[in-house]
Structure 1
Amino acid sequence: MAGKFELYTDKSGEYRFRLKAGNGEVIATSEGYSSKAGALSGIESVQRNAPGAEVVEV
């Protein structure tokens, strides 16, 4: 099963998303967004930029 993004509203009314792996484990969570459109743009950004993301040890 592929991973999925879950879009939700938090207790303070902000929109957030989390990325879940195929096994249901949360592997990323977003900041809060004031609009649904902003959260959807955040999801699109992760989808666009993550495939080639570099791994850096700090």
Structure 2
Amino acid sequence: MGKFVITTRANGEFQFNLKAGNGQTILTSEGYTTKAACNNGIESVKNNAADDNRYDRKEAKNGKPYFNLKAGNGQIIGSSEMYESVAARENGIESVKKNAPDATIDDQTS
């Protein structure tokens, strides 16, 4: 089962990582100025993860595939790591779809 891990960045912003059951990070958020905004981001991931149309499949300048998960308003709510292949990126998307909706929250900021 997946989990969202909330941490604090060096600049004081909050961020979350969605981790798969094996502990691997499959999605990373932007920085949020408040924990409430970070929690809203988590809820947005949970609500949008199942919709394939919310995944923006991209290729980095170095040719490595990655994806962004977007909310209904088009705002990016999470980004993946860089993958070695398109197939690996698709597996990452499937992992987010599977893990995000029922993921628990592990708040490591307090």
TM-score, with structure 1 as normaliser: 0.88
1:16-55: CA deviation from partner (whole Å, max 9, x where unpaired): 0000000000000000000000000000000011112236
| Mapping of residues 1-58 of structure 1, within 5 Å | 2-54=1-53
Unaligned segments of structure 1, at least 5 residues: none
Higher helix residue share: 2
Unaligned segments of structure 2, at least 5 residues: 59-110
Higher strand residue share: 2
Higher relative contact order (CA 8 A, sep 6+): 2
Give percent identity, aligned residues only. 49
Q: Distance between the aligned counterparts of 1:56 and 1:33, measured in 2?
A: 21
TM-score, with structure 2 as normaliser: 0.48
Let me know the Cα RMSD of the aligned residues: 1.5
Structure 1 residue ranges (4+ consecutive) displaced by more than 2 angstroms after TM superposition? 52-58
- How many aligned residue pairs are there? 57
Who wins on radius of gyration, i.e. which is larger? 2
